[in-house]
Chains A and B, each alone.
Chain A
Amino acid sequence: MRGLSKRYGRRTVVHDLDLRIPIGAVAGFIGPNGAGKTTTLRMLLGLVRPTTGQGTVLGRPLTEPAGYLPRVGALIESPALYPRLSARRNLEALAILAGQYHPSWIQEVLDEVGLGERADDEVRSYSLGMKQRLAIAAALLGDPDLLVLDEPTNGLDPMGIRLMRELIRDLSIRDNRPRTVVVSSHLLAEVEQICDWIIVVDGGELAYQGPPDGLLSAGASRVTLRPEHLDDLGMLADLAAGLGLAVERAGDQVMATLPAGEAPNGSATPWAAGASETEHDDPQEAMRALLGGLNRAAHAHGITLVEIAPSRVTLEERYTGLVAQGAGRRTGDAA
C-alpha cells in the first residue's frame, strides 16, 4: 500500500502510509493507542475507505475488497458475535455468507480454538476469553491466505495466550503454504517472539517496517567496556567521552552510549575515525566501526580490554525510543 491516508474532517488519523508485508511473514503491527493501527487494518479490510492512497492485497486492488476478502480472515477489535446464537450457529451464518460452509470445517475450527465441547452453547454464556477464541475461529473460516488479528490475546488467560502464539506460528507454516499473518498487539514481548516482520506506526505515520533485527540493531547504541585493570576505568571513560559518547561507570565497567537520535548509521563519526572514511548505511556495519574505534583508542592508550560488547536492546526499549522520538518531532513541528 502506498500513500495511504485517512482523514475524518480535519483530523488525519493515518498519514501517507507506505505499507509492505512479505508473503508468508508473521508481521507485528505495533504503535501506541490512537496511532492509526485499527484504522489502517479497517482500510485493508474494506470497512473504511481511504481518503488517499492505493495498494494491493493478495494481488487485488484495495478498492475491490470483494476480490480478496474471501481469502482473508480477520478479527478487528473486540469479538462481535450474536449473543443468543450458539458458537456453531454464529460460525455457520458467517460461513454461509462467505460461501465457505461445510459442517466439518466448522467443527474443525471450533476444535482448533478449544471450543469444540461448548460449540452448542449460546455465546452470551461465554467468558470474554472464550468469545475472543470464537472470533479467532471465525477468522480461520475458509483457511485464509492472509490473517489479520487485532489484539488477538485480549481477554485470554496465560494458557490462552500461549495457545494463540502456537496457533499463529503453526498457521504461518501449515501445509507448506505461505500464509501471511498480521498481528496488531500491545504485548511487545509476544510480538518479539512470534513476528519476523515489524511495522511500527506512531501518530498515523510509519515509524519503522522491516525485520525485527533491523529495528533492534538500529537501536543497539550502547556498548559495555571492561578494562583488564580497574585503574584504567577513569581513562577509558574519558576516551569514550572524547569520542562523543555518553559515558556511565558501573562497577568495573564503562557503559558508553550514543546520544539520543544518533544510532550508529549514517554519516562518518569521530568514534569511527581511523577505520574508514566511508559512511555506514548498514547499522550493523556502523556498530562494528564503533566497537573498532573504541578498541583502537583503548589500545593506543595502553588499555587492554577484557570485554567490549554492544548491549542488546529489547523491542520494548526500541519501540519506546521510537515513539518518544515521534512525539518529540510532532511537538517540535507544532512549535
Chain B
Amino acid sequence: MTAQHLTTQSVDDQVYAEQTAGGRAFDDQADEGRAASARTGSGPPAVGRSRSTDRGPLLAVARSYRSEVHKLRRPTTVAAMGVLAALSVLSTVLTFALAKDGPPSAFGSSDGLLPPLPALATPAGLVLGFRIGSTFTGLLLLLLCAAMLATEYNQGTIRMIFMREPRRVSWLAGRMGALLSILAVALVGAFVISAATAVLMAQIRGVDTGQWWTDDALRRAGKDYLNVLVGTTCFAIAGTTLSLLIRSTTAAVLIAFAWTGPLEHIIENAWPDATRYLPGLVFANISTGGNSIAGYRGPLLLGILYAVALATVGITSLARRDITA
C-alpha cells in the first residue's frame, strides 16, 4: 500500500480551502462527517473588520511609502542624517582651511580637486564645500542602501513584508520614495549647515562673500543642490540593486565599498577617461556638477542611463526570485 492510498477521499468530493470573496465556502457541506469537527459555518460569515481589498499597485506604493516612513522614524535615521550633515561641515571646513592662493580656473581640472581662495569668493563659493563633499554623501548613501535592504533579507523581515504586500515592485517603489524623500530633507539640512559653516570659515580665512548672496549665486546653489540630489539618488539606486542581487549585508557593503572606493580610482589612475564611463565616478561627477574631463551633460545622461539599467535589473531580480530568507 502506498501512502497515497491512505487518503480517504477523492479530490472531487473534498472541500478546498477556498472561499468566495464574501468568505462563504464553495461547498461547506461536502466534508461534513469526514472532518467531523472541521468547523464549517452554517450562516453567512462575518465580514472581517479590516479587509484590505486588492485596490491596485498605486495604492500599494502609497502604503509602502507610509510604512517605510513609519519605520524610518527612529534614532538611527537621525544619526544617519547627522553623519550626512557632519560630512558636509567637514568638507566645507577642509575646503576653506586647505584653500591656497591661485587662479580660480585651476579648480575643476584633474589635479585641481580643491578650489583656490579666489574661487571661494565667486558666486559658487557659498556651497562649494557642500558640492565637493557630495561624493562622500553619495558613497554613504550607496553603502546605507546596500546595507539596509540586504538586512531585510538577513533578518527575514522581507518575508513578513511580502506576506503583507505581495506586489513587490510597488513595495520597492514606495520604499525608494520614502528613502529619497528623507534624503532630500536631509540634504536640505546638510546644505544649510554647510552654508552656515562656509560663512563662518569665510570670516576666518578673510574670503569676500559679497558675491554669495546675488541672484546668480542662489540660482547656482539651487542647481548644486539638485545635482547632489540626482547624484546621490543614482548612488542609492546602485546600492539597492546590489543588495537585491547579493542579499547579504556584509557582501553587499564590501562589494559597494570595494568598487566605488579603491577599484574605480585605481582604474581611473591608469586610464583618466574612466571618469567618463565608470558608474561610481559618473555619479560623483553628477553630484559635483561635472569636471573639465567629463563635462556635465555627458555624466548626467550616462548616469541616468546607468540608474535606469540598474533599477531594471534590481526590479527584475526582486520580482522573479523566490524569497527564501
When A20-B16, A46-B166, A59-B26 are in contact, do A178 and B53 touch as well, CB less than 8 Å?
Answer: no
Distance from A66 Cβ to chain B, minimum over Cβ atoms (Å) = 5
A298 to B201, CA, bound (A): 110
As a 0/1 sequence over residues 146 to 172 of chain B, the CB contacts with chain A under 8 angstroms (1 = contact) are 000000000111111111111100010
Q: B170's closest neighbor in chain A, by CB? A: A66
Residues of chain B within 8 A of A197, CB atoms compared: 35, 38
Give residues of chain A (12-50) contacting chain B, Cβ–Cβ below 8 Å: 18, 20-26, 42, 45-49
Interchain CB contact under 8 A, B45 and A178: yes
A166 to B25, CA, bound (A): 25
Residue B273, interface by CB 8 Å? no
Q: B322's closest neighbor in chain A, by CB? A: A48
Partner of A56, one of B18, B36, B166: B18
Interchain CB contact under 8 A, A143 and B48: yes
Distance from B97 Cβ to chain A, minimum over Cβ atoms (Å) = 37
When A98-B164, A99-B59, A178-B45 are in contact, do A326 and B3 touch as well, CB less than 8 Å?
Answer: yes
Residue A191, interface by CB 8 Å? no
Residue A254, interface by CB 8 Å? no
Residues of chain B within 8 A of A97, CB atoms compared: 63-64, 67, 161, 164-165, 171
Q: A144's closest neighbor in chain B, by CB? A: B48
A49 to B322, CA, bound (A): 6
Q: B156's closest neighbor in chain A, by CB? A: A80
Distance from A313 Cβ to chain B, minimum over Cβ atoms (Å) = 13
Residues of chain A within 8 A of B36, CB atoms compared: 196, 211, 213
A202 to B6, CA, bound (A): 14
As a 0/1 sequence over residues 282 to 309 of chain A, the CB contacts with chain B under 8 angstroms (1 = contact) are 0000000000000000000000000000
Q: A16's closest neighbor in chain B, by CB? A: B4
When A20-B11, A70-B51, A84-B76 are in contact, do A196 and B162 touch as well, CB less than 8 Å?
Answer: no
Residue A130, interface by CB 8 Å? no
Residues of chain A within 8 A of B20, CB atoms compared: 59
Residue A94, interface by CB 8 Å? yes
Partner of A47, one of B18, B39, B165, B322: B322
A98 to B167, CA, bound (A): 11
Interchain CB contact under 8 A, B2 and A96: no
Distance from B58 Cβ to chain A, minimum over Cβ atoms (Å) = 13
Q: A23's closest neighbor in chain B, by CB? A: B25
Q: What are 28 inter-chain pairs, A to B, with CB distance below 8 A?
A: A20-B16, A22-B31, A23-B28, A23-B40, A24-B25, A25-B38, A42-B323, A46-B162, A48-B324, A58-B19, A65-B166, A66-B167, A67-B54, A71-B48, A81-B157, A89-B74, A96-B70, A97-B161, A98-B164, A99-B59, A197-B35, A206-B4, A207-B4, A209-B7, A211-B35, A211-B36, A261-B1, A263-B6
> What would 19 more interface pairs be, CB under 8 Å, given A58-B19, A97-B171?
A20-B16, A23-B19, A47-B159, A49-B322, A59-B21, A69-B164, A70-B51, A80-B160, A84-B74, A100-B52, A102-B50, A143-B48, A143-B49, A176-B46, A177-B46, A205-B4, A207-B4, A208-B3, A329-B2
Query: What is B's interface to A at a CB cutoff of 8 Å?
Result: 1-9, 11, 14-21, 23, 25-26, 28, 31, 34-41, 43, 45-46, 48-55, 59-60, 63-64, 66-68, 70-71, 74-76, 155-167, 171, 320, 322-325
